[in-house]
């Protein structure tokens, strides 16, 4: 899974431009799928049908988003410096000094207008991208060009660091889960969604098309295990998290019970998650059509939305184990 994660995180894919990521996933899932389609918003929908003779198979949608946060060029000045705005949750404190890459391969570094108080982090509208141009006419970037962080994948023992761990870890976990499920009594839809970072847009459209009974997002969650971090109980390396609440969703208690009882029976470590900021694809799945029983399995992640997001490999492996256990058996609610 590490090699796959390296490939996925080193691939370019800001919201609305997930094509490169989709290509990699497609190659992995082709031999494992019963049906594959791409919907109008670009989500990749991979179906694994129930084993022959299964009674009342449940339609279950799993979702992991392919897109990552990014930036978009909004203005180019006389000297060829590129001003930009955010695509999703791109924050000043994580953007300053970053290297970025545009879709056409142009790279740049992010500089800033000196603030009055140098200790203050400037917001992104006080930053610019230096792509090495000296005047507007030579700037290889046009207004509307998308870019994302440029950063290579790195391993520190079990701790893995890369850009776009949010949510390529979810993507890798879903691919590995599909690989590990030998047979299922359920009708499974593994959905690799688009445009999550700009307001969970792809997942809603995909859920409408699939009309699932149960929906589960697989995405990262913040941790409370660093100095002066948020007051949450989730930690790296302590297992996948069962989501109870985030600001966009209350998990269905039946889904929460299903996840916890399965983890306990299979002796897989898990954590109880209440997230204070952010949400996931499950938010849109839950309120699609007449409503869906929804929840989320979250992967603990430090420094979310920076170019160096950190996860623990053991959490990824245990996430695959838990999902495999959940999806391989008859759902009893």
The site partner of 219 among Co ion, Zn ion, none (C-beta below 5 to 8 Å per kind) is: Zn ion
Nearest to 305 by CA among 149, 119, 113: 149
State in angstroms the smallest separation of the CB of 317 from Zn ion.
20
| Residue 45 or 301 with smaller CB distance to Co ion | 301
Around Cβ 259, how many Cβ atoms within 10 Å?
A: 24
For residue 46, give both structure tokens: 């991979």
Q: Which residue is nearest to Zn ion (CB)?
A: 167
CA angle, residues 167, 173, 178, in degrees to nearest 5:
130
The site partner of 68 among Zn ion, Co ion, none (C-beta below 5 to 8 Å per kind) is: none
State in angstroms the smallest separation of the CB of 217 from Zn ion.
9
Q: State how far the Cα of 129 lies from the Cα of 35, in Å rounded to an integer.
A: 43
By the rule CB under 5 A, 166 interacts with Zn ion: yes
State in angstroms the smallest separation of the CB of 34 from Co ion.
30
Q: Which of 18, 28, 176, 196 is catalytic?
A: 196
The site partner of 273 among Zn ion, Co ion, none (C-beta below 5 to 8 Å per kind) is: none
Q: 219, 273, 281, 315: which one contacts Zn ion (CB under 5 A)? A: 219
Residue 140 Cα to chain centre, angstroms: 30
Task: Give the total residue count for the chain.
Answer: 333
Site string for Zn ion, 265-304 (x = CB under 5 A): ----------------------------------------
196 is catalytic: yes
| Residue 50 or 300 with smaller CB distance to Co ion | 300
State in angstroms the smallest separation of the CB of 91 from Co ion.
11
CA angle, residues 161, 147, 96, in degrees to nearest 5:
65
Contact 220, 300 (CB under 8 A): yes
Q: Which residues bind Co ion (CB under 5 A)?
A: 166
Residue 130 Cα to chain centre, angstroms: 28
Helix (H) or strand (E) holding 100: strand 99-102
Using CA atoms of 146, 152, 158, 159 in order, give the dihedral in degrees to the nearest 10: -60
Residue 319, classed as helix, strand or coil, is helix
| Residue 28 or 166 with smaller CB distance to Co ion | 166
Q: Which residue is nearest to Co ion (CB)?
A: 166
Q: 68, 167, 246, 315: which one contacts Zn ion (CB under 5 A)? A: 167
CA-CA-CA-CA torsion sign (253, 255, 258, 264): negative
Q: Which residues are catalytic?
A: 196
Q: Which residues bind Zn ion (CB under 5 A)?
A: 166-167, 219
């Amino acid at each position: 899974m590490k090699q796959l994660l390296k490939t996925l995180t080193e691939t370019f894919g800001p919201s609305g431009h997930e094509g490169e990521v989709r290509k990699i996933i497609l190659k992995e899932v082709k031999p494992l799928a019963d049906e594959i389609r791409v919907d109008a918003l670009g989500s990749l929908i991979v179906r694994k049908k129930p084993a022959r003779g299964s009674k009342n198979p449940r339609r279950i949608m799993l979702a992991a988003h392919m897109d990552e946060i990014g930036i978009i060029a909004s203005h180019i000045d006389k000297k060829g410096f590129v001003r930009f705005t955010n695509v999703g949750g791109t924050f000043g404190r994580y953007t300053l000094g970053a290297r970025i890459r545009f879709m056409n391969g142009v790279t740049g570094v992010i500089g800033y207008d000196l603030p009055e108080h140098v200790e203050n982090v400037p917001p992104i509208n006080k930053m610019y991208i230096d792509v090495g141009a000296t005047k507007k006419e030579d700037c290889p970037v046009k207004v509307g060009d998308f870019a994302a962080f440029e950063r290579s994948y790195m391993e520190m023992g079990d701790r893995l660091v890369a850009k776009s761990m949010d949510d390529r870890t979810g993507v890798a976990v879903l691919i590995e889960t599909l690989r590990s499920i030998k047979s299922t009594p359920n009708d499974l839809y593994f959905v690799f969604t688009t445009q999550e970072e700009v307001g969970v847009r792809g997942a809603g459209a995909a859920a409408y098309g699939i009309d699932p009974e149960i929906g589960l997002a697989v995405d990262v969650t913040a941790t409370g295990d660093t100095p002066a971090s948020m007051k949450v109980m989730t930690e790296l390396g302590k297992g996948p998290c069962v989501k109870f609440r985030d600001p966009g969703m209350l998990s269905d208690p039946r889904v929460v019970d299903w996840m916890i009882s399965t983890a306990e029976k299979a002796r897989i470590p898990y954590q109880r998650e209440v997230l204070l900021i952010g949400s996931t694809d499950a938010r849109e799945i839950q309120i699609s059509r007449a409503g869906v029983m929804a929840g989320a399995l979250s992967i603990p992640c430090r420094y979310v939305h920076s170019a160096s997001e950190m996860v623990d490999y053991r959490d990824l492996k245990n996430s695959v184990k838990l999902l495999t256990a959940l999806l391989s058996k008859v759902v009893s609610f």
